[in-house]
Amino acid sequence: MSWIQAAQAGGKAGDQDDVFDEEADESLLVQREWRSHMQRRVKEGYRDGVDAGKAVALQQGFNQGYKEGAEVIMNYGQLRGTLSALLSWCHLHDNSSTLISKINNLLDAVSQCEEYVLAHLKSVPPQPNVGDLLDSIEDMDLCHVVPAEKMDEAKDERLYENNAEFNKNCGNSPSRADCSYLEGCRTQEPAHSANPILPWILEQTASLVTQLGISVDVLQHLKQL
Amino acid sequence: MADSQDMFDAIVMADERFHGEGYQEGYEEGSSLGIIEGRQYGTLHGAKIGSEIGCYQGFALVWKCLLCSCASEKDSRKMKVLESLIEMIQKFPYDDPTYNKLHEDLDKIRGKFKQFCSLLNVQPDFKISVEGPGLSF
């Protein structure tokens, strides 16, 4: 805002000085009006910025999510397709209805799996931005504490040798705290792949194939599940 | 006269500057909002495609094994259709939403799949709700 004062000073200088002095109250009013106008401009800018940023990021986010969703759910689709193929084979070869109902049950289970995984995928937050992490770590004021605790745990002698230097450095570089934070995130990340009923479905499918007298090779493509 | 011109410029510039400051802040906020929102839609759409393509692929690969294990002269036509279906699926960039022939290729795969099913004389039920609730944009 300093320039506003400067502008005013500039305006008052010269032969118009007297006129401004006479209407001092009015100039205060103008000042206030000016300030609220600028605040409004900031808000308008903010709104425009949000719209513009969102427009650009939406597509980017969409592409990211799309890729992830497609890759993960593809495997479940394959499992479903596999079971469907077995089901159609049973129908063609007039297999017993117990096997058919078993396959149908497994198909239902796959659907549940898929819903479960999809729900998790949606709730997983996007990859944390390193800059944001650094900010939040700074906000938490952890960078002095965390490396010190890490030091106690560390059995690496080299670290002890460099102790003094390390402590000196960790004040201005929270990289170590940052690392441990990222590791924490990473351990939580594969939550969507840990599906409780999936191993059971795979096991059941394999035993089903054996019961049908088909080579287990038909399940080769499911190895990545 | 020159003074008032400067003043005017200063006002216009200030207007721009304050707008710009707000814009910058808003842009960052909007970007992270956009990523989150976009991801949610993207995940659903990607999952829909992945699920469908995965189904066709699993189905086709199993049937390839089944046909191979009991190959007869009659099956050669089925095998041919099946091979081309598998090839189409493998070429299909299912995880790329920017692929410009996505719908075109998807329709071809669907058609080929139907053709194969009618040759086999089966009507598979994948239990997928292609137009299911929650999957609409």
Q: ipTM for the complex?
A: 0.80
Could A73 and B51 be called an inter-chain contact, meaning their C-beta atoms sit closer than 8 Å?
A: yes
The dihedral sign for the CA sequence B89, B90, B91, B92: positive
| Chain B residues touching A219 at Cβ < 8 A | 62
Q: Taking the mean position of all CA atoms in its chain, how far away is CA A209? A: 39
| Chain B residues touching A113 at Cβ < 8 A | none
- What is the distance between the alpha carbons of residues A136 and A52, in angstroms, rounded to a whole number? 25
* Confidence band of B104 (pLDDT split at 50, 70, 90): very high
- What is the distance between the alpha carbons of residues B42 and B26, in angstroms, rounded to a whole number? 23
Range in A19-28, A30-39, A201-210 with the lowest mean pLDDT: A19-28
Is residue B33 pLDDT above 80, yes or no?
Answer: yes
Q: Mean pLDDT over residues A19-34, rounded?
A: 76
- Please report, for chain A, the start and end positions of each structural domain, with discontinuous segments joined by +: 2-123+195-222, 130-191
* Confidence band of A90 (pLDDT split at 50, 70, 90): confident
Could B65 and A78 be called an inter-chain contact, meaning their C-beta atoms sit closer than 8 Å?
A: no
Q: A174-223: per-residue pLDDT in tens?
A: 444 444 444 443 333 344 455 667 888 888 888 888 888 777 777 877 77
- B91/chain A closest Cα distance in angstroms: 15
Place of tokens 């939406």: A58
- What is the distance between the alpha carbons of residues A194 and B96, in angstroms, rounded to a whole number? 25
A52 backbone dihedrals φ, ψ, rounded to 5°: -65, -45
pLDDT, position A11: 45
**Residue that wins the pLDDT comparison between A113 and A51:** A51
Q: Mean pLDDT over residues B97-109, rounded?
A: 91
pLDDT, position A178: 43
Is residue B35 pLDDT above 50, yes or no?
Answer: yes
- What is the distance between the alpha carbons of residues A62 and A4, in angstroms, rounded to a whole number? 43
| Chain B residues touching A217 at Cβ < 8 A | 65
Residue A13 DSSP label = S
Which of A44, A84, A95 should be substituted to probe chain B, the one whose Cβ sees the most B Cβ atoms within 10 Å? A84
Residue pair A208/A106 in contact by the 8 Å Cβ criterion: yes
**Residue that wins the pLDDT comparison between A40 and B69:** A40
Q: A144-173: per-residue pLDDT in tens?
A: 544 444 444 444 444 444 444 444 444 444
pLDDT, position A208: 86
